Copies of this chain bind each other. A is one copy, B any other.
Amino acid sequence: MNESFVLRGGIAFSESEKRITTYYRGYLVCVDGICKGAFTELPEQYRGLQLYDYGERLIIPGMTDLHVHAPQYTFRGIGMDEELLEWLTTYTFPEEAKYSDMEYAKKAYGYFAEDLRRCFTTRAVVFGTMHNEATINLMDQLEDTGVITYVGKVNMDRNGGEGLQEESAEASLQATLDWLQAIEGRYKNTKPILTPRFIPSCSDDLMRGLGKLSAERDLRIQSHLSENQSEVAWVKELVPESTSYANAYELFDTMGSAELPTIMAHCVYSGEEEMSILKKHGAYIAHCADSNMNLTSGIAPIRKFLDAGIKVGLGTDVAAGSSMNMLKTMLITLQASKMYYRLVDTDVKPLSFEEVFYLATAGGGEYFGKVGTFKDGYEFDAVVIDDSKMYSMRDMSIRERIERMCYNDADAIIKDKFVKGKKVYC
Protein backbone atom coordinates (compact mmCIF):
# COMPACT_ATOMS: atom_id res chain seq x y z
CA MET A 1 0.00 0.00 0.00
CA ASN A 2 1.60 3.28 -1.05
CA GLU A 3 0.49 6.63 0.34
CA SER A 4 -2.20 7.26 -2.29
CA PHE A 5 -5.36 5.18 -2.08
CA VAL A 6 -9.07 5.17 -1.38
CA LEU A 7 -10.74 3.58 1.65
CA ARG A 8 -14.41 2.68 1.69
CA GLY A 9 -16.52 2.15 4.82
CA GLY A 10 -18.56 3.90 7.52
CA ILE A 11 -16.79 7.23 7.82
CA ALA A 12 -17.09 9.72 10.69
CA PHE A 13 -15.14 12.90 11.42
CA SER A 14 -15.59 16.31 13.02
CA GLU A 15 -16.89 19.00 10.71
CA SER A 16 -16.63 21.41 13.63
CA GLU A 17 -16.49 21.25 17.43
CA LYS A 18 -20.20 20.60 17.53
CA ARG A 19 -20.83 18.56 14.41
CA ILE A 20 -19.81 15.10 13.25
CA THR A 21 -20.13 14.34 9.53
CA THR A 22 -20.77 10.72 8.55
CA TYR A 23 -20.89 8.67 5.37
CA TYR A 24 -22.40 5.21 5.17
CA ARG A 25 -20.30 3.20 2.69
CA GLY A 26 -18.50 6.40 1.79
CA TYR A 27 -15.14 6.95 0.10
CA LEU A 28 -12.13 8.48 1.81
CA VAL A 29 -9.28 9.63 -0.40
CA CYS A 30 -5.60 9.81 0.52
CA VAL A 31 -3.05 11.28 -1.92
CA ASP A 32 0.60 11.34 -0.87
CA GLY A 33 -0.36 11.04 2.78
CA ILE A 34 -2.83 13.94 2.61
CA CYS A 35 -6.61 13.55 2.92
CA LYS A 36 -8.56 14.79 -0.09
CA GLY A 37 -11.91 14.51 1.66
CA ALA A 38 -14.75 12.04 2.08
CA PHE A 39 -17.38 11.42 -0.59
CA THR A 40 -20.65 9.63 -1.22
CA GLU A 41 -19.60 8.99 -4.82
CA LEU A 42 -15.91 8.68 -5.66
CA PRO A 43 -14.87 11.69 -7.79
CA GLU A 44 -13.64 10.91 -11.30
CA GLN A 45 -10.04 11.99 -10.67
CA TYR A 46 -9.53 9.42 -7.89
CA ARG A 47 -10.95 6.41 -9.71
CA GLY A 48 -7.49 5.27 -10.76
CA LEU A 49 -6.34 4.88 -7.15
CA GLN A 50 -6.29 1.53 -5.39
CA LEU A 51 -9.54 1.04 -3.48
CA TYR A 52 -9.67 -0.82 -0.15
CA ASP A 53 -13.23 -1.70 0.73
CA TYR A 54 -13.79 -2.17 4.48
CA GLY A 55 -17.49 -3.01 4.05
CA GLU A 56 -19.44 -2.35 7.25
CA ARG A 57 -16.42 -1.30 9.26
CA LEU A 58 -15.96 2.17 10.70
CA ILE A 59 -13.23 4.61 9.65
CA ILE A 60 -12.47 7.49 12.01
CA PRO A 61 -9.58 9.94 12.33
CA GLY A 62 -6.60 8.80 14.37
CA MET A 63 -6.61 10.18 17.89
CA THR A 64 -4.11 12.41 19.63
CA ASP A 65 -2.97 11.62 23.17
CA LEU A 66 -1.65 14.97 24.39
CA HIS A 67 -0.23 13.66 27.66
CA VAL A 68 1.20 10.25 28.47
CA HIS A 69 4.11 9.05 30.64
CA ALA A 70 5.91 6.19 28.90
CA PRO A 71 7.90 4.93 31.93
CA GLN A 72 4.74 4.61 34.00
CA TYR A 73 2.98 2.30 31.58
CA THR A 74 4.03 -0.97 33.12
CA PHE A 75 2.66 -0.12 36.56
CA ARG A 76 -0.67 1.31 35.43
CA GLY A 77 -3.72 0.53 37.51
CA ILE A 78 -2.09 0.11 40.92
CA GLY A 79 -1.89 2.42 43.93
CA MET A 80 -4.99 4.20 42.72
CA ASP A 81 -6.31 4.86 46.23
CA GLU A 82 -3.60 7.52 46.70
CA GLU A 83 -3.66 11.21 45.79
CA LEU A 84 -1.09 12.90 43.54
CA LEU A 85 1.85 13.74 45.79
CA GLU A 86 1.72 10.46 47.75
CA TRP A 87 1.29 8.49 44.53
CA LEU A 88 4.31 10.19 42.96
CA THR A 89 6.63 9.48 45.87
CA THR A 90 5.32 5.97 46.65
CA TYR A 91 4.93 4.54 43.15
CA THR A 92 6.09 6.83 40.37
CA PHE A 93 9.46 8.18 41.38
CA PRO A 94 10.88 4.82 42.54
CA GLU A 95 9.70 3.29 39.24
CA GLU A 96 11.16 6.05 37.08
CA ALA A 97 14.48 5.76 38.92
CA LYS A 98 14.85 2.28 37.40
CA TYR A 99 15.27 3.79 33.93
CA SER A 100 18.94 4.44 34.69
CA ASP A 101 19.22 0.73 33.85
CA MET A 102 19.17 0.43 30.06
CA GLU A 103 18.15 -3.22 30.00
CA TYR A 104 15.16 -2.34 32.10
CA ALA A 105 14.32 0.71 29.98
CA LYS A 106 14.55 -1.15 26.67
CA LYS A 107 12.22 -3.87 27.78
CA ALA A 108 9.66 -1.59 29.43
CA TYR A 109 9.66 0.91 26.57
CA GLY A 110 9.21 -1.99 24.19
CA TYR A 111 5.90 -2.81 25.90
CA PHE A 112 4.86 0.83 25.78
CA ALA A 113 5.76 1.32 22.12
CA GLU A 114 4.02 -1.85 21.01
CA ASP A 115 0.79 -0.99 22.83
CA LEU A 116 0.91 2.58 21.50
CA ARG A 117 1.19 1.18 17.98
CA ARG A 118 -1.88 -0.99 18.57
CA CYS A 119 -4.22 1.62 20.07
CA PHE A 120 -6.39 4.37 18.55
CA THR A 121 -3.62 6.95 18.93
CA THR A 122 -1.77 8.21 15.86
CA ARG A 123 -0.11 11.21 17.55
CA ALA A 124 1.18 11.47 21.09
CA VAL A 125 3.08 13.83 23.34
CA VAL A 126 5.14 11.75 25.69
CA PHE A 127 7.08 12.14 28.93
CA GLY A 128 10.20 9.97 29.31
CA THR A 129 12.35 10.10 32.43
CA MET A 130 15.33 12.32 33.32
CA HIS A 131 17.67 9.72 31.81
CA ASN A 132 19.14 10.62 28.41
CA GLU A 133 20.06 7.16 27.25
CA ALA A 134 16.68 5.65 28.16
CA THR A 135 14.84 8.56 26.56
CA ILE A 136 16.79 8.12 23.33
CA ASN A 137 15.91 4.42 23.36
CA LEU A 138 12.27 5.35 23.87
CA MET A 139 12.46 7.69 20.87
CA ASP A 140 14.13 4.98 18.78
CA GLN A 141 11.37 2.54 19.60
CA LEU A 142 8.61 5.11 19.01
CA GLU A 143 10.11 6.00 15.63
CA ASP A 144 9.75 2.35 14.66
CA THR A 145 6.03 2.34 15.48
CA GLY A 146 5.17 4.88 12.79
CA VAL A 147 3.17 6.90 15.33
CA ILE A 148 4.18 10.58 15.26
CA THR A 149 5.27 11.91 18.63
CA TYR A 150 6.91 14.58 20.68
CA VAL A 151 9.05 13.06 23.42
CA GLY A 152 10.64 14.75 26.41
CA LYS A 153 13.66 13.94 28.48
CA VAL A 154 12.34 15.05 31.87
CA ASN A 155 14.04 17.86 33.80
CA MET A 156 13.98 17.63 37.59
CA ASP A 157 16.63 19.00 39.94
CA ARG A 158 14.72 18.97 43.24
CA ASN A 159 12.26 16.88 45.27
CA GLY A 160 12.76 13.73 43.20
CA GLY A 161 13.99 11.60 46.07
CA GLU A 162 16.60 8.88 45.88
CA GLY A 163 17.91 8.16 42.40
CA LEU A 164 15.57 10.49 40.57
CA GLN A 165 17.02 13.97 40.79
CA GLU A 166 19.55 15.79 38.66
CA GLU A 167 22.48 17.31 40.52
CA SER A 168 21.86 20.95 39.71
CA ALA A 169 20.14 23.28 37.27
CA GLU A 170 23.31 23.38 35.18
CA ALA A 171 23.65 19.62 35.14
CA SER A 172 20.04 19.27 34.04
CA LEU A 173 20.44 21.90 31.32
CA GLN A 174 23.69 20.36 30.13
CA ALA A 175 22.06 16.93 29.99
CA THR A 176 19.29 18.46 27.91
CA LEU A 177 21.80 19.90 25.45
CA ASP A 178 23.59 16.55 25.28
CA TRP A 179 20.29 14.80 24.60
CA LEU A 180 19.35 17.25 21.85
CA GLN A 181 22.73 16.83 20.25
CA ALA A 182 22.57 13.04 20.39
CA ILE A 183 19.24 12.90 18.56
CA GLU A 184 19.82 15.63 16.02
CA GLY A 185 18.74 14.42 12.59
CA ARG A 186 18.01 10.97 13.95
CA TYR A 187 14.23 10.78 13.43
CA LYS A 188 11.50 11.52 10.95
CA ASN A 189 8.46 11.08 13.17
CA THR A 190 9.84 11.74 16.64
CA LYS A 191 10.55 15.25 17.88
CA PRO A 192 12.06 16.47 21.13
CA ILE A 193 10.07 18.62 23.53
CA LEU A 194 11.40 20.37 26.62
CA THR A 195 9.87 18.76 29.70
CA PRO A 196 10.23 20.41 33.09
CA ARG A 197 8.30 17.86 35.20
CA PHE A 198 6.44 20.52 37.18
CA ILE A 199 7.51 23.44 39.31
CA PRO A 200 7.99 21.39 42.51
CA SER A 201 10.60 19.32 40.59
CA CYS A 202 12.47 22.24 38.99
CA SER A 203 14.47 25.04 40.61
CA ASP A 204 13.98 28.61 39.43
CA ASP A 205 17.32 28.49 37.62
CA LEU A 206 16.37 25.34 35.80
CA MET A 207 13.00 26.76 34.76
CA ARG A 208 14.60 29.97 33.51
CA GLY A 209 17.25 28.00 31.62
CA LEU A 210 14.61 25.89 29.90
CA GLY A 211 12.62 29.00 28.97
CA LYS A 212 15.73 30.44 27.39
CA LEU A 213 16.55 27.22 25.58
CA SER A 214 13.02 27.01 24.22
CA ALA A 215 13.35 30.46 22.67
CA GLU A 216 16.87 29.91 21.33
CA ARG A 217 16.18 26.55 19.72
CA ASP A 218 12.50 26.92 18.80
CA LEU A 219 11.62 24.03 21.09
CA ARG A 220 8.18 23.45 22.50
CA ILE A 221 7.55 22.81 26.20
CA GLN A 222 5.22 20.47 28.08
CA SER A 223 4.50 20.37 31.79
CA HIS A 224 1.78 20.02 34.45
CA LEU A 225 -0.47 22.77 35.80
CA SER A 226 -2.92 23.01 38.72
CA GLU A 227 -3.71 19.32 39.01
CA ASN A 228 -4.18 19.01 42.75
CA GLN A 229 -4.88 21.41 45.60
CA SER A 230 -1.82 20.40 47.67
CA GLU A 231 0.36 20.82 44.59
CA VAL A 232 -1.08 24.29 43.89
CA ALA A 233 -0.40 25.35 47.50
CA TRP A 234 3.16 23.98 47.28
CA VAL A 235 3.88 25.96 44.12
CA LYS A 236 2.68 29.12 45.82
CA GLU A 237 5.26 28.47 48.57
CA LEU A 238 8.01 27.67 46.08
CA VAL A 239 7.42 30.71 43.88
CA PRO A 240 6.00 33.26 46.33
CA GLU A 241 6.22 36.12 43.83
CA SER A 242 3.82 34.36 41.43
CA THR A 243 0.17 35.41 41.30
CA SER A 244 -0.87 31.92 40.17
CA TYR A 245 0.71 28.61 39.21
CA ALA A 246 0.41 29.55 35.53
CA ASN A 247 1.98 32.89 36.30
CA ALA A 248 4.94 31.07 37.84
CA TYR A 249 5.53 29.34 34.49
CA GLU A 250 5.11 32.71 32.80
CA LEU A 251 7.72 34.31 35.06
CA PHE A 252 10.20 31.70 33.82
CA ASP A 253 9.25 32.25 30.14
CA THR A 254 7.97 28.71 29.75
CA MET A 255 4.36 29.40 28.74
CA GLY A 256 5.21 29.47 25.04
CA SER A 257 3.44 31.23 22.20
CA ALA A 258 0.99 30.51 19.40
CA GLU A 259 3.93 29.50 17.18
CA LEU A 260 5.56 27.42 19.91
CA PRO A 261 2.64 26.31 22.04
CA THR A 262 3.20 24.88 25.49
CA ILE A 263 1.08 21.92 26.63
CA MET A 264 -0.14 22.09 30.19
CA ALA A 265 -1.65 18.89 31.54
CA HIS A 266 -4.67 18.98 33.88
CA CYS A 267 -5.67 22.60 34.75
CA VAL A 268 -8.24 21.23 37.21
CA TYR A 269 -7.87 24.32 39.42
CA SER A 270 -7.25 26.92 36.71
CA GLY A 271 -9.39 29.97 37.43
CA GLU A 272 -9.84 33.23 35.54
CA GLU A 273 -6.22 34.36 35.80
CA GLU A 274 -4.77 31.07 34.61
CA MET A 275 -7.31 30.91 31.81
CA SER A 276 -6.28 34.32 30.59
CA ILE A 277 -2.59 33.33 30.74
CA LEU A 278 -3.21 30.09 28.83
CA LYS A 279 -5.26 31.94 26.24
CA LYS A 280 -2.72 34.75 25.83
CA HIS A 281 0.12 32.30 25.16
CA GLY A 282 -1.87 30.03 22.85
CA ALA A 283 -1.17 27.12 25.19
CA TYR A 284 -2.90 23.73 24.91
CA ILE A 285 -4.62 22.13 27.85
CA ALA A 286 -4.22 18.36 27.96
CA HIS A 287 -7.41 17.33 29.73
CA CYS A 288 -6.86 14.06 31.62
CA ALA A 289 -10.21 13.17 33.15
CA ASP A 290 -9.37 9.54 33.94
CA SER A 291 -6.25 10.53 35.83
CA ASN A 292 -8.02 13.40 37.60
CA MET A 293 -10.71 11.05 38.89
CA ASN A 294 -8.30 8.24 39.79
CA LEU A 295 -6.06 10.48 41.90
CA THR A 296 -9.10 12.27 43.41
CA SER A 297 -7.78 15.51 41.93
CA GLY A 298 -11.11 16.89 40.74
CA ILE A 299 -12.65 17.80 37.38
CA ALA A 300 -11.36 20.48 35.02
CA PRO A 301 -14.06 22.84 33.71
CA ILE A 302 -13.48 22.12 30.02
CA ARG A 303 -16.64 23.90 28.87
CA LYS A 304 -15.28 27.13 30.37
CA PHE A 305 -11.94 26.66 28.61
CA LEU A 306 -13.62 26.08 25.26
CA ASP A 307 -15.91 29.08 25.71
CA ALA A 308 -12.82 31.19 26.46
CA GLY A 309 -11.22 30.04 23.21
CA ILE A 310 -8.43 28.08 24.88
CA LYS A 311 -7.08 25.11 22.93
CA VAL A 312 -7.91 21.73 24.48
CA GLY A 313 -7.06 18.12 23.67
CA LEU A 314 -7.30 14.90 25.65
CA GLY A 315 -4.55 12.99 27.44
CA THR A 316 -4.65 9.50 28.87
CA ASP A 317 -1.98 10.45 31.43
CA VAL A 318 -0.87 6.88 31.95
CA ALA A 319 -0.24 5.73 34.70
CA ALA A 320 -2.47 8.05 36.72
CA GLY A 321 -4.80 7.30 33.86
CA SER A 322 -4.82 3.55 33.63
CA SER A 323 -5.08 2.88 29.92
CA MET A 324 -3.87 4.26 26.58
CA ASN A 325 -7.31 3.59 25.11
CA MET A 326 -8.57 6.97 23.92
CA LEU A 327 -12.15 5.65 23.64
CA LYS A 328 -12.14 4.98 27.37
CA THR A 329 -10.66 8.45 27.90
CA MET A 330 -13.55 9.90 25.87
CA LEU A 331 -16.11 8.05 27.99
CA ILE A 332 -14.55 9.28 31.23
CA THR A 333 -14.27 12.81 29.80
CA LEU A 334 -18.02 12.74 29.13
CA GLN A 335 -18.81 11.41 32.60
CA ALA A 336 -16.52 13.97 34.24
CA SER A 337 -18.12 16.89 32.42
CA LYS A 338 -21.58 15.62 33.35
CA MET A 339 -20.57 15.44 37.02
CA TYR A 340 -19.02 18.94 36.92
CA TYR A 341 -22.36 20.23 35.66
CA ARG A 342 -24.41 18.24 38.17
CA LEU A 343 -22.24 18.63 41.27
CA VAL A 344 -20.28 21.85 40.83
CA ASP A 345 -21.96 24.37 38.54
CA THR A 346 -25.17 23.94 36.56
CA ASP A 347 -24.22 26.97 34.48
CA VAL A 348 -21.42 24.90 32.93
CA LYS A 349 -23.24 22.59 30.54
CA PRO A 350 -21.87 19.06 29.97
CA LEU A 351 -19.79 18.39 26.89
CA SER A 352 -21.73 16.67 24.12
CA PHE A 353 -20.52 13.48 22.47
CA GLU A 354 -19.74 15.56 19.37
CA GLU A 355 -17.50 17.85 21.38
CA VAL A 356 -15.60 15.04 23.08
CA PHE A 357 -15.08 13.26 19.76
CA TYR A 358 -13.71 16.55 18.44
CA LEU A 359 -11.34 16.95 21.39
CA ALA A 360 -9.99 13.40 20.98
CA THR A 361 -9.33 13.84 17.25
CA ALA A 362 -9.15 17.38 15.85
CA GLY A 363 -8.76 19.23 19.17
CA GLY A 364 -5.53 17.51 20.14
CA GLY A 365 -4.60 16.93 16.49
CA GLU A 366 -4.27 20.66 15.89
CA TYR A 367 -1.16 20.62 18.06
CA PHE A 368 0.46 18.64 15.22
CA GLY A 369 -0.82 20.92 12.43
CA LYS A 370 -3.60 19.95 10.05
CA VAL A 371 -4.37 16.70 11.83
CA GLY A 372 -7.42 15.00 13.31
CA THR A 373 -10.20 15.19 10.75
CA PHE A 374 -10.92 14.09 7.19
CA LYS A 375 -11.25 17.48 5.54
CA ASP A 376 -9.37 18.23 2.35
CA GLY A 377 -5.75 19.04 3.11
CA TYR A 378 -5.43 17.29 6.46
CA GLU A 379 -2.71 14.72 7.07
CA PHE A 380 -4.19 11.27 6.61
CA ASP A 381 -4.40 9.67 10.08
CA ALA A 382 -7.14 7.05 10.23
CA VAL A 383 -8.26 4.04 12.26
CA VAL A 384 -10.43 1.26 10.82
CA ILE A 385 -12.63 -0.41 13.45
CA ASP A 386 -14.65 -3.60 13.58
CA ASP A 387 -17.59 -3.07 15.96
CA SER A 388 -19.50 -6.20 14.95
CA LYS A 389 -19.03 -7.78 18.40
CA MET A 390 -21.64 -5.28 19.61
CA TYR A 391 -24.85 -6.86 18.40
CA SER A 392 -27.76 -4.65 17.59
CA MET A 393 -31.35 -5.38 16.71
CA ARG A 394 -31.60 -2.67 14.08
CA ASP A 395 -29.59 -0.71 11.55
CA MET A 396 -27.65 1.84 13.51
CA SER A 397 -26.43 5.11 12.09
CA ILE A 398 -22.68 5.71 11.89
CA ARG A 399 -23.12 8.43 14.53
CA GLU A 400 -24.80 5.95 16.89
CA ARG A 401 -22.10 3.36 16.29
CA ILE A 402 -19.25 5.68 17.16
CA GLU A 403 -21.01 6.76 20.35
CA ARG A 404 -21.67 3.12 21.26
CA MET A 405 -18.07 2.14 20.66
CA CYS A 406 -16.83 4.92 22.92
CA TYR A 407 -19.06 3.59 25.72
CA ASN A 408 -17.91 0.00 25.00
CA ASP A 409 -14.25 0.40 24.18
CA ALA A 410 -13.40 -3.23 24.85
CA ASP A 411 -15.54 -4.34 21.90
CA ALA A 412 -14.13 -1.93 19.30
CA ILE A 413 -11.45 -3.89 17.48
CA ILE A 414 -8.83 -2.03 15.46
CA LYS A 415 -8.32 -3.59 12.03
CA ASP A 416 -5.99 -1.06 10.42
CA LYS A 417 -4.28 2.14 11.44
CA PHE A 418 -2.75 4.79 9.17
CA VAL A 419 -0.47 7.69 10.06
CA LYS A 420 0.10 10.29 7.34
CA GLY A 421 -1.10 7.71 4.84
CA LYS A 422 1.26 4.96 6.04
CA LYS A 423 -0.25 1.80 7.44
CA VAL A 424 1.35 1.29 10.85
CA TYR A 425 -0.79 -1.50 12.29
CA CYS A 426 -3.09 -4.16 10.96
Contact = CB atoms under 8 A, between A and B. Distances in A.
A392 interface: yes
| Residue of A293, A342, A343 most packed against chain B (CB within 10 A) | A342
Contacts of A108: 393
A131 to B, nearest CB: 15
Interface size range of chain A in the complex = 35 or more
Contact of A81 (B74, B111, B290, B350): B350
Interface of A: 74-78, 80-81, 98, 104, 107-108, 111, 290, 293-294, 296-299, 322-323, 325, 328, 331-332, 334-336, 338-344, 350, 352-353, 390-393, 396, 400, 403-410
Instruction: In the A-B complex, list the 9 residue pairs whose CB atoms are closest, starting with the nearest.
Output: A77-B407, A77-B404, A322-B407, A410-B410, A293-B335, A296-B338, A111-B391, A343-B343, A74-B393
Contact of A77 (B78, B98, B335, B408): B408
Contact of A74 (B341, B392, B410): B392
B339 A299 contact: yes
Given A323-B407, A408-B322, A409-B410, A78 B297 contact: no
A336 B293 CA distance: 8
A323 B299 CA distance: 24
A81 B353 contact: yes
A404 B403 CA distance: 26
A164 to B, nearest CB: 16
A154 B390 CA distance: 25
Contacts of A334: 80, 294
A294 B407 CA distance: 9
B294 A338 contact: yes
Contact of A80 (B299, B340, B393, B407): B407
Given A391-B111, A400-B78, A410 B323 contact: yes
Nearest to A331: B322
Contacts of A77: 390, 403-408
Copies of the polypeptide in the assembly: 2
Nearest to A321: B407
Given A74-B391, A75-B393, A108-B393, 15 more contacts: A75-B392, A76-B390, A77-B390, A77-B407, A80-B353, A81-B350, A81-B353, A293-B335, A296-B339, A296-B341, A296-B350, A325-B410, A335-B335, A339-B339, A409-B410
A293 B76 contact: no
29 contacts: A74-B392, A74-B393, A75-B392, A76-B390, A77-B390, A77-B404, A77-B406, A80-B407, A81-B350, A81-B352, A81-B353, A98-B393, A104-B393, A111-B391, A293-B338, A293-B339, A294-B335, A296-B338, A296-B339, A298-B342, A299-B343, A322-B331, A322-B404, A328-B410, A339-B339, A339-B343, A343-B343, A409-B410, A410-B410
A115 B344 CA distance: 37
| Residue of A322, A336, A339, A340 most packed against chain B (CB within 10 A) | A339
A328 B78 CA distance: 15
A92 to B, nearest CB: 14
A375 B325 CA distance: 36
A146 to B, nearest CB: 21
Given A80-B334, A404-B77, A410-B325, A296 B342 contact: yes
